[in-house]
Amino acid sequence: MNTSDLVKVVNDLVKAGHVVCTRDRDDRRKVLVRLTPEGRAFLDRLNADVAATDDDVLAPLSGDERRVLASLLRRVHQHLEPNPADAGAAASGRPQAPPAQETGAGG
């Protein structure tokens, strides 16, 4: 996530009362972000809504099929996710490591 986008998200969460921000005592450049009790309650409700939606959308799939789907989606996400180590290697002209391969059962 872009740093400026992350700052905007955190600022919105502060305004909503879901988090509080404080400077790190040891490194003033760092900001510590902590959930408030209201933020925890909101997150719990949001997680429950997401779980209910998942159950509704994935209702036609068995437990095994859901696990396979989740595994495949993780592989696609890993493929698309930029690797900070690879970005550094590309900038320095070093060869990049190939993406990690996940093995699946049953072929």
Cα torsion angle, 59, 63, 66, 70, sign: positive
| Residue in the structure block whose two tokens are 């209201």 | 38
Helix (H) or strand (E) holding 82: none
Whether 92 is covered by a domain: the verdict is no
pTM for the full model? 0.59
User: Residue 29 carries which DSSP code?
Assistant: T
**Phi (first) and psi of residue 95, to 5 degrees:** -65, 145
Q: What is the pLDDT of residues 48-79, one digit of tens each?
A: 999 999 999 999 999 999 999 999 999 999 99
In a domain, 77, yes or no: yes
Q: How many CB atoms lie within 10 A of CB 68?
A: 15
Q: Let me know if residue 106 belongs to a domain.
A: no
Whether residue 93 lies inside any domain: the answer is no
Does a structural domain hold residue 90? no
Q: Domain total for the chain?
A: 1
Look at residue 16 and tell me if it is in a domain. yes
Question: Does residue 91 belong to any structural domain of this protein?
Answer: no
Q: Per-residue pLDDT tens for 16-51?
A: 999 999 999 999 899 999 999 999 999 999 999 999
Task: Tell me which residue range forms the domain holding 51.
Answer: 3-82
